[in-house]
C-alpha cells in the first residue's frame, strides 16, 4: 500500500494535468465516492441487522429485506444505464 497523500498534494497533481484529463479524474472520483457510499450503506445495514432481536426475524421478513435490497439495486442500475 502506498503512503498517504495530502489533499493539497493531490490537488497540485490534478492541476498539473491537461484539461482533457479532468473528466477522467471526475469520473474516477465519482466511482470512488459511489464505492464508499455502498460500503457505508452495507455497514449500516449490517449494524442494524445485528441489533434486531433474532427471534423477531422470520424467514418471511428476511425474504422481504432481500427483495427490497434487490429492488433498490435494480432501480439504481436502471437509472445509471440511462
The x, y and z cell numbers of residue 33, run together, are 465516492
Q: What CA–CA distance (Å, rounded) separates 50 from 64?
A: 17
How would DSSP label each residue in 34-48? HHHHHHHHHHHHHHH
Find the helix or strand (DSSP H, E) in which 29 lies: helix 22-51
When comparing pLDDT for 48 and 2, which is higher?
48
Average pLDDT in the 9-24 region?
92
- What is the pLDDT at residue 16? 94
- Give per-residue pLDDT as tens, 21-77: 999 999 999 999 999 998 998 899 889 878 877 777 788 888 998 899 899 889 888
Q: What is the pTM of this model?
A: 0.57
CA gyration radius for the chain?
A: 19
Question: What distance in Å separates the CA atoms of residue 68 and residue 76, rounded to the nearest whole number?
Answer: 12
| pLDDT band of 82, cuts 50, 70, 90 | low
Amino acid at each position: 500500500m502506498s503512503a498517504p497523500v495530502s489533499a493539497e498534494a493531490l490537488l497540485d497533481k490534478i492541476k498539473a494535468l491537461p484539461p482533457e484529463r479532468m473528466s477522467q479524474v471526475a469520473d474516477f472520483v465519482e466511482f470512488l465516492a459511489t464505492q464508499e457510499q455502498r460500503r457505508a450503506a452495507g455497514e449500516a445495514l449490517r449494524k442494524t441487522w445485528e441489533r434486531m432481536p433474532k427471534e423477531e426475524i422470520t424467514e418471511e421478513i428476511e425474504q422481504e429485506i432481500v427483495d427490497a435490497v434487490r429492488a433498490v439495486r435494480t432501480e439504481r442500475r436502471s437509472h445509471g444505464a440511462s
